[in-house]
């Protein structure tokens, strides 16, 4: 859990109501959703349904991603951030149902890292499925980024009906990934609860098959390793401590398929900080012999260093390769994690080796990634299909094909020859 100082802002809302139209999301290039350039604003977003009519767009921003400038009137160091959204009916409709923009100013004279929280009230009546196009703008840095946030108000049991919060500060936690020993609170406001049903899963997952493989993926075993209940004393919220690695799904009804799932990964997740964190991701670009040598070497750090030094011409190039490769692994963890770490998913595998796509088309159940100039013989296209999964709405499976064999090995070869030069 984040140990940075937190700072919560209850914001005034400047609403821009009314319907208008724009280009359909499904026909737009949405490559911005997986772009994270240097000095980017790594905002997190979540949707929380308070009742059948009222919802919230919640967000958090790390102060270290903002630019603070001195206010000449009082000498305070301030940052100014704008958050705007467009609520659209679906990927395939161009109607903007609602839109709003808010501005917040944060003072940080001590220049201490902290998390800035905010929330925007939304009027979304049940039942509803829609898309939020959210833009975050740093007015001083003159930098802005966009994100897509799916709104699922089709029932009263899915994860957006729960709010996860820090038990010490009562502030929302907008990711679902924790480490062993973390304690969180969960809130559910639709109706009074007396009992929550919990299923625990502890699974080991292999790396995804190469994109050219014809092997069928293993079927997921949906039988939990254990089940238990939590008594809810105040009828709306309860606390929970992550006792073991794996993942836990919390349900308001024992018979319900959906709920909210909390994932308990390695201690440093989503970051790569130790030699032990660096071993397994190397498998994408290493031979069987190289990988076994790394596993069998007692000095893990030395084994990792030797691997990268062997494929780089100089120690400096090795450092650049390491920085680029593991930056991609961390980005995969942030973008694609589901019931397994993001870098182990199909999208994570392609992103790690090929990098961010030039073009992305997306709808409710598919993602299309295009590398190179679209509609040219040299472009490469990957198709991903969403998997209906009770634990997550972030599970996509690649449509594999033999045509990917040469491009895959070509990119792996570029890594092994030190030719991946994009720096972060």
Q: Comparing C-alpha atoms, which of 62, 66, 92 is closest to residue 78?
A: 66
Q: Flag whether the pTM goes above 0.85.
A: yes
Question: Of 128, 154, 180, which one is at a domain's C-terminal end?
Answer: 154
143, 215: one domain:
no
65, 89: one domain:
yes
The one-character DSSP state at 333 is: H
The pLDDT, as a whole number, for residue 4 is: 45
339, 319: one domain:
yes
115, 216: one domain:
no
Question: Of 232, 247, 265, which one is at a domain's C-terminal end?
Answer: 265
124, 2: one domain:
yes
Domain hosting 145: range is 1-154
24, 117: one domain:
yes
257, 296: one domain:
no
pLDDT tens, residue by residue, 312-358: 888 998 999 999 999 999 999 999 999 999 999 999 999 999 999 99
How many distinct structural domains can be found in the chain? 3
The pLDDT, as a whole number, for residue 216 is: 79
243, 336: one domain:
no
130, 164: one domain:
no
The answer to whether position 270 is within a domain reads no
The pLDDT, as a whole number, for residue 1 is: 46
Residue 45: how many other CB atoms lie within 10 Å: 18
Residue 88: how many other CB atoms lie within 10 Å: 24
Residue 246: pLDDT band (50, 70, 90) is very high
Residue 217: pLDDT band (50, 70, 90) is confident
CATH of the domain at 248: 2.60.40
The answer to whether position 422 is within a domain reads no
Residue 6: pLDDT band (50, 70, 90) is very low
Question: Of 212, 235, 265, which one is at a domain's C-terminal end?
Answer: 265
48-51 CB contacts, 8 Å cutoff, 24+ apart: 48/160, 48/161, 48/162, 48/163, 48/172, 49/124, 49/126, 49/153, 49/160, 49/161, 49/190, 50/189, 51/189, 51/190
The pLDDT, as a whole number, for residue 37 is: 72
What is the dihedral angle through the alpha carbons of 13, 14, 18, 21, rounded to the nearest 10 degrees?
A: -100
398, 293: one domain:
yes
127, 193: one domain:
no
183, 244: one domain:
yes
The one-character DSSP state at 218 is: P
């Amino acid at each position: 859990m984040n140990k940075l100082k937190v700072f919560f802002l209850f914001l005034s809302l400047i609403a821009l109501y009314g319907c208008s139209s724009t280009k359909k999301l499904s026909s737009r290039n949405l490559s911005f959703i997986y772009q994270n350039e240097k000095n980017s604003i790594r905002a997190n977003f979540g949707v929380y349904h308070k009742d059948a009519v009222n919802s919230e767009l919640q967000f958090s921003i790390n102060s270290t991603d903002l630019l603070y400038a001195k206010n000449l009137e009082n000498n305070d160091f301030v940052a100014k951030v704008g958050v705007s959204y467009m609520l659209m009916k679906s990927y395939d409709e161009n109607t903007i149902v609602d839109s709003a923009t808010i501005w917040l100013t944060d003072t940080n004279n001590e220049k201490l890292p902290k998390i800035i929280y905010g929330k925007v009230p939304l009027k979304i009546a049940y039942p509803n499925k829609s898309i939020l196009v959210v833009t975050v703008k740093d007015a001083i840095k003159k930098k802005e980024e966009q994100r897509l946030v799916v709104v699922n108000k089709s029932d009263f049991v899915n994860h957006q009906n729960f709010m996860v919060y820090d038990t010490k500060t009562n502030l929302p936690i907008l990711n679902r990934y924790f480490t062993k020993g973390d304690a969180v609170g969960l809130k559910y406001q639709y109706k009074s609860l007396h009992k929550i049903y919990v299923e625990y899963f502890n699974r080991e997952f292999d790396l995804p098959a190469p994109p050219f493989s014809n092997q069928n993926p293993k079927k997921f075993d949906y039988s939990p390793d254990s089940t238990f209940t939590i008594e809810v004393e105040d009828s709306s919220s309860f606390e929970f401590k992550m006792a073991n690695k794996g993942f836990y799904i919390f349900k308001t009804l024992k018979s319900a398929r959906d709920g909210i799932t909390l994932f308990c990964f390695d201690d440093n997740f989503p970051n790569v900080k130790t030699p032990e964190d660096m071993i397994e991701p190397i498998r994408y670009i290493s031979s069987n012999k190289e990988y076994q040598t790394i596993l069998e070497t007692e000095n893990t750090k030395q084994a990792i260093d030797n691997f990268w030094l062997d494929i780089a011409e100089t120690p400096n190039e090795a450092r650049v390769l390491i920085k680029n490769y593991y930056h991609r692994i961390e980005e995969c963890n942030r973008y694609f994690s589901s019931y397994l770490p993001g870098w182990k998913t199909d999208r994570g595998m392609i992103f790690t080796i090929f990098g961010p796509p030039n073009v992305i088309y997306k709808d409710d159940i598919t993602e299309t990634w295009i590398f190179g100039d679209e509609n040219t013989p040299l472009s490469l296209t990957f198709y991903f299909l969403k998997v209906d999964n009770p634990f997550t709405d972030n599970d996509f499976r690649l449509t594999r094909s033999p045509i990917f064999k040469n491009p895959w090995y070509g990119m792996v070869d570029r890594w092994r020859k030190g030719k991946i030069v994009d720096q972060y």
